[in-house]
Structure 1
Amino acid sequence: MPRIWIDAAAVLLAATLLGGCATSKEKLLPHGDNTMLDIWHQETGGSAGGGQAARQLLDARQGLRRPLVEADVQAAPGVQARYTRTAQNEIYRQFHRLPNPDLVMYVFPHLAGTDPVPVPGYSTVFPLYQRVQYAMPGERVEDY
Structure 2
Amino acid sequence: MRRIAIATVSINLLSGCATGSKDTILPQTGPTMKEVYDAHFEHTRQRFRDARIDMGRRSAADIPSNLDGYTREADAEILAVFPRLPNPSLVMYVFPHLSAKGYPVPGYATSFPLYETVEYALPGEVEGWE
Q: Same fold (TM over 0.5)?
A: no
TM-score (norm 2): 0.34
Name which one, 1 or 2, has greater alpha-carbon Rg: 1
TM-score (norm 1): 0.31
